[in-house]
Structure 1
Amino acid sequence: MSRTSQRSTYRILAGIAIPVYRMVARISWRGTENFPASGGFVVAANHLTEIDPITVAYPVYKSGIMPRFLAKESLFRVPVLGWLLAHIGMVPVFRGTTRAKDSLAAAIAELHDGGAILVYPEGTVTRDPRMWPMRAHTGAARLSLQGQVPVVPLAHWGDQNVLYRDPQGKRTVNLFPPKKVRVLIGEPLQPRELMRPGNQPTDQPTADDLNYATTVIMDRITGLVAQLRGEEAPESRFDPRARKESS
């Protein structure tokens, strides 16, 4: 599908989703000047609730950039939804299969074409009981280092008051009155800033490189969240894998 067709479909969907979102959330943001004026980039955000893809994409879209998410491949097989995802240029993620590399290649191709890829490094809604960013996966770091593009850290706070999921998975919905939602966009992290001290940027990062870069990204996101919350972030991040192993 051509980019023109994708943009047209995106605008139609945005024209539907944004007014509905604004009925339940009063959003404001700062820092859109940190989106690169040219070239591809990754937006890495914290994940509070199932509705925050709109929160994260909204300021990117309003800045004149058509954002794309990495989405689970299974969603592309859902009737109607799969068609929509494909027609707005979302990138399918084939987890745990031999096609996983295809997802990476497609995302990097989009970045090299000047696109913006939105990523939740945590991989899912945070399980931290206090809703701080938790331990993350290395996907955002891999896209940045292998694609040699910057990462723009983005934090948001408030949309969990519209739809909240507790650590046990129970959801609470509170639509009215509209909730205050704030977004803070940080300065872009260049690939060289994600490398360990003394190491040169490379598009073939090692596991240690990816882990270090992920820590840098999550530290920056967590710092932005702390600013929005007006609180000091915990010294260590919640690790859901450690919780499972100890249970």
Structure 2
Amino acid sequence: MELVYPPVIAACKTMFRVLDLKLDVRGAEHIPASGGAVLACTHVSYLDFIFCGLAGLPSGRKTRFMAKEQIFRNRIAGPLMRGMRHISVDRAAGQASYQEAVAKLRAGEVVGVFPEATISRSFTVKPIKTGAVRMAEEAGVPVIPMTVWGSQRLWTKGRPKNLTQRHVPVLIRAGDPFHPGKDDDLEALTADLRERMSALLDQAQADYPEKPATKEFWLPAHLGGSAPTPEEAAALDERPRGSKPTT
């Protein structure tokens, strides 16, 4: 019985209504009503798991997300994450969380992953890990590429969160599923998954209803925004935590 997930969903929907977020979900029909599936989503915000999970609700699915263990150690978030049966990922010992995800997929659960492993500061798709494709192949379930766009305006890496901002459009897109096979080249399939995720993100950015004239922080550099380029973002990610850029 789900005791935690339904009230959390209700609380999130209430928050969306209060903030009058302009949610636009497309492709939800690609998420199966039964059986396991991997949702492989782009990552631009700390809130992406909330918005990505919305795509499963029309099919009655509650997504179990893989998230770093620090969240599970949080005094408030930890009990909620465990109650919603999300999967704690210890990056120093990731095999256990991988096997837990495969077990949930085989049991017919929907598992959400962010193959980039961390938020993209450039708001383009970073190089991705093979785990999403590998676990789908091992469990015999489809991979569904996804993107979320607009959530970075509320809370993203390197920027103060603004959870009271109203009327922000948030676009959620799910693409066509594909089924990794045992004889497939997983590296090639991972490259294909990244291309699918990038195409969804490009389309969401093109569809976005707000076209600011100024160099907004939440727009990628190639669209005229002030976000770091992918190369600048990679350099920022390599800096030790707490260090400041040199001048």
Does structure 2 retain, via aligned residues, the 8 Å contact 1:164–1:173? no
SS of residue matched to 1:137: coil
Letter in 2 for 1:189: F
Change (3 A) 1:81 1:156: closer
Give me the whole-angstrom Cα distance separating, in 2, the residues matched to 1:78 and 1:137: 26
Letter in structure 1 aligned against 2:150:
G
Shift of the 117–174 alpha-carbon distance from structure 1 to 2, 3 Å rule, reads closer
1:92 aligns with 2:92: no
Q: Residues of 2 paired with 1:23 and 1:186: CA distance?
A: 29
Change (3 A) 1:136 1:31: same
Q: 1:50: Cα distance to partner?
A: 1.1
Percent sequence identity over aligned pairs: 28
Q: What's the counterpart of residue 144 of structure 2?
A: 152
2:95 is the counterpart of 1:106:
no
Q: Secondary structure of the equivalent of 1:69?
A: strand
Q: Under a length normalisation based on structure 2, what TM-score does the superposition of the two structures give? A: 0.79
The aligned counterpart of 2:24 is 28
Alpha-carbon distance between aligned partners in 2 of 1:170 and 1:179, rounded to the nearest angstrom: 17
Q: In structure 2, what is the Cα distance between the partners aligned to 1:71 and 1:174?
A: 21
* Amino acid across the alignment from 1:176: Q
2:39 aligns with one of 33, 43, 47: 43
The alignment's TM-score, normalised by the length of structure 1, stands at 0.79
Aligned partner letter, 1:92: S
Change (3 A) 1:174 1:38: closer
Tell me which residue corresponds to 1:139. Answer: 131
What is the deviation of 1:148?
2.1
Q: What displacement does 1:238 show?
A: 3.6
CA distance in 2: counterparts of 1:210 and 1:171, whole angstroms: 38
* Cα 1:21/1:153, change in 2 over 3 Å: same
- Residue matched to 1:230: 206
Which residue of structure 2 lines up, in the alignment, with residue 184 of structure 1? 173
Q: In structure 2, do the counterparts of structure 1 residues 47 and 154 end up closer, same or farther at CA, with 3 Å as the change threshold?
A: same
State the number of aligned residues.
218
How do residues 122-137 of structure 1 correspond to structure 2 at under 5 angstroms? Answer: 122-128=116-122, 131-137=123-129
Cα RMSD after superposing both structures: 2.6
Query: 1:116 corresponds to which residue?
Result: 110
CA distance in 2, matches of 1:127, 1:159: 13
Deviations 1:49-84 (A, max 9, x none): 112221111121343101110122232222242222
Q: Which position in structure 2 is the counterpart of 1:221? A: 197
Q: C-alpha separation between the residues in 2 aligned to 1:72 and 1:161?
A: 22
User: Which residue of structure 1 aligns with residue 14 of structure 2?
Assistant: 19
Deviation at 1:174, TM superposition (A): 6.7
Q: Is contact 1:141–1:210 with CA below 8 Å preserved after alignment? A: yes
Q: CA deviation at 1:215?
A: 1.1
Show the 5 A alignment for 1:187-202.
187-192=176-181, 200-201=183-184
